[in-house]
Structure formats: C-alpha cells, structure tokens
C-alpha cells in the first residue's frame, strides 16, 4: 500500500493521473476529476501513529524497535472533550493543495488504493487563506503562527522542527506532527467586545502586535500581557513549535443553531515531550481562550524525513 501511495503521490504532484480508459469492462483506475487541472502545489505528508509500532502491546509489523523516541498519544488534558472516533490512527496522510478538488482527488484515490489493506478511520477537511509574507488569520480573526518567524532559518528549523540524531535513523530529519481539532464557539466570540477579545489573546486584533509592542513581530514582553492570555502562556512555556494551522467549518448544531467550526491545530516539532505537551498542558489549565474553545480530537504522528528518488513511504521502517 505504501508503495502504491508513493507512486500515486509522485504522479499527482506532477499533475498526472492514473489510467482512465484502458479497458471499458473494468472500472477506470483513476477517478478522473483532476483531468485538465494543474497540480496546484499538491503535497502529501505521511505520518505514523504510536499504534503503528505497538497496538495494545502487540507489534503487528515487527517494527517496534524502530519506534521514535517521543512518539506517543498526547496525554489526557484538562477540559478536553476528545472523541476517540476522530482521533489517532496508525497512519496519517495530510494532503494539501491550492485547489480543494485536487486535494480531495488525491485523498479519494489514496483511500481506494488502501482498500483491503487499511481502513479509513477519520477524515477532516480544512482551509487556510493568507497574503504572501503575512501571517494567516484564524476564524477568531487573529493572526495564527506569528512566532514561526522566530525560527525561520535553516538553523532555526533544525532546533525546532527536525528530529535529531538520537532518533532511529529513518526519523532523523523527520518531524512530529501534533494534531488537535479545536472547536471554536464563534457565536459567543462574536458577541465579545474587541477589548476582551484582544485581552484573551494578548495581541491587537488588527496589527497582531502583542500588548506593549507596536508591530506584530516586535519582541514580546510577557509581563505586559494579561496573565491568562494565550500569547503570554505560550511565551511562558519558553518553547517553540512550528505552527501550520487550518480552519474548518461543518454542520449546524440543531439544538443551538450554532455552527460547528474551528481550528485544525497542527504543529511540527522535534520533541513533543519537551516542546508541545507542556505548552498544551499550560494552556488547557490556564488559557483565557478556553472559554471559547473545546478540543474535540487529538493525535500524534511521526513523519519520516523526505524521500529520496526511488524510495517509498515508510521503506526505512519496514525494511530496517
């Protein structure tokens, strides 16, 4: 399956499709909805969950010794409301493209290629929008990921994102993907005064500047931020993570008429035990934002380093 996936991803990233008309008696190999569409910067990121290596103590694929050092499910947090049905999993695929039809075409055909070999546990669609060179905003209207700029260099990425030489060889240069689906109570938020909204984050809504600063990327003085504000807590954790969030929208809650929408928090880091989990715990216990959000899904995956030509996803794990 991983070989088929790799071949398919190679093909689609170049804008190709699988065969559509080789034999009229059998179903077309490709589903066809991207014919005439450009590759739209399609990317595929693959990650392996803890259960891929060990599920309830069972090493199904004989690979437990190659388990990365920090790969485990995110522990229970206060105030979370996790639905196990949309959390975790053995393998995760994150498919991104500038065109949703291109992204979904890849998702759909990857699912088809997994038939009989893997079983689809959950699927989540999201979107992100921004102007080149500017930090994208989340559905609360605030900039999300300002601090990525702090490690925006090769050395910075080595320190924050890429897994190090203490890891099994396949994981070196890879990264841990932390995922939280965070429902945002948009209706309550939209009835909150601007000053309260800004105090909740600790930043100006329009400029993105932290309290006590003038511009978005000015140095933040945590002491000048409201005590339980989101940014202050992030700074107090003294850790950096690489944030790559998306927003999502879904159904209407028939009881309240509220829209189910929120943030697909995704962060990449080299050591979630040090960088991510303590930060999350600090937030879950203290963050003023908790009044407006609820974490409903959770997962941690280990994403191997990028492939060399001719390699397939997971090869260095399965053939180690």
Nearest residue (CB) to other proteins, 41 versus 224: 41
**Residue in 114, 192, 258, 286 binding other proteins, rule: CB under 8 A:** 114
Euclidean distance between CA atoms 89 and 203, whole angstroms: 35
Instruction: Give, as one character, the DSSP assignment of residue 210.
Output: B
Contact positions with other proteins (CB under 8 A) in 180-239: none
Euclidean distance between CA atoms 290 and 299, whole angstroms: 19
Question: Does 34 help bind other proteins (rule: CB under 8 A)?
Answer: no
Q: How far is the CB of 24 from other proteins (least distance, A)?
A: 9
Q: What is the dihedral of CA 299, 260, 240, 134, to 10 degrees?
A: 130
Question: HSE-up of 119 (CA within 13 Å, CB side)?
Answer: 3
**Residue in 11, 13, 118, 139 binding other proteins, rule: CB under 8 A:** 118
Question: Does 240 help bind other proteins (rule: CB under 8 A)?
Answer: no
**Residue in 20, 120, 206, 291 binding other proteins, rule: CB under 8 A:** 120
Q: How far is the CB of 199 from other proteins (least distance, A)?
A: 26
Q: How far is the CB of 61 from other proteins (least distance, A)?
A: 7
Euclidean distance between CA atoms 46 and 223, whole angstroms: 40
Q: How far is the CB of 51 from other proteins (least distance, A)?
A: 8
How many angstroms separate the most distant Cα atoms in the chain? Answer: 70
**Which helix (H) or strand (E) is 252 found in, with range?**
strand 246-252
Euclidean distance between CA atoms 201 and 245, whole angstroms: 16
First to last CA, the chain: 18
Euclidean distance between CA atoms 217 and 226, whole angstroms: 18
Contact positions with other proteins (CB under 8 A) in 243-282: 244, 246, 249, 264
**Residue in 148, 200, 275, 298 binding other proteins, rule: CB under 8 A:** 148
Question: Does 124 help bind other proteins (rule: CB under 8 A)?
Answer: yes
Nearest residue (CB) to other proteins, 52 versus 312: 52
The total of other beta-carbon atoms located within 10 Å of residue 163's CB is: 25
Contact positions with other proteins (CB under 8 A) in 294-313: 299
Nearest residue (CB) to other proteins, 213 versus 264: 264
Residues 6+ apart with CB under 8 A from 61: 52, 53, 318
How many residues lie near other proteins (CB under 8 A)?
A: 66
List the one residue out of 120, 77, 122, 131 whose CA is nearest residue 276: 77
Question: Does 41 help bind other proteins (rule: CB under 8 A)?
Answer: yes
Nearest residue (CB) to other proteins, 88 versus 304: 88
- Would you tell me which residues interact with other proteins (CB under 8 A)? 1, 23, 25-27, 40-43, 49, 51-52, 60-61, 88-104, 107, 110-112, 114-136, 145, 148, 179, 244, 246, 249, 264, 299
């Amino acid at each position: 399956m991983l070989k088929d996936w790799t071949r398919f991803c190679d093909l689609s990233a170049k804008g190709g499709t699988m065969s559509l008309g080789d034999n009229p008696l059998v179903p077309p190999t490709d589903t066809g909805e991207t014919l005439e569409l450009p590759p739209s910067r399609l990317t595929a990121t693959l990650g392996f969950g803890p259960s891929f290596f060990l599920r309830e103590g069972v090493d199904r694929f004989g690979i437990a010794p190659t388990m990365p050092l920090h790969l485990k499910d995110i522990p229970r947090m206060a105030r979370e409301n996790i639905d196990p049905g949309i959390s975790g999993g053995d393998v995760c695929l994150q498919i991104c493209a500038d065109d949703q039809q291109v992204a979904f075409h890849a998702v759909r055909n990857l699912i088809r290629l997994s038939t009989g070999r893997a079983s689809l546990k959950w699927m989540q669609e999201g979107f992100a929008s921004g102007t080149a060179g500017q930090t994208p905003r989340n559905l609360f209207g605030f900039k999300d990921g300002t601090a990525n700029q702090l490690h925006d260099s090769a050395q910075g990425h080595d320190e924050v994102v890429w897994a190090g030489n203490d890891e099994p060889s396949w994981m070196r240069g890879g990264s841990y993907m932390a995922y939280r689906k965070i429902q945002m109570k948009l209706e309550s938020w939209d009835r909150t005064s601007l000053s309260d909204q800004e105090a909740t984050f600790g930043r100006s809504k329009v400029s993105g500047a932290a309290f006590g600063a003038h511009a978005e990327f000015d140095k933040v003085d945590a002491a000048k931020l409201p005590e339980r504000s989101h940014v202050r807590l992030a700074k107090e954790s003294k850790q950096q993570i690489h944030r790559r969030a998306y927003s999502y929208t879904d159904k209407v809650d028939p009881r309240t008429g509220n829209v189910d929408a929120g943030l697909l928090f995704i962060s990449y880091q080299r050591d979630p035990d040090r960088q991510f989990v303590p930060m999350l715990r600090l937030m879950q216990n203290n963050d003023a934002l908790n009044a407006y959000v609820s974490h409903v899904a959770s997962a941690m995956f280990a994403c191997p380093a990028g492939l060399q030509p001719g390699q397939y996803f997971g090869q260095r794990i399965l053939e180690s």
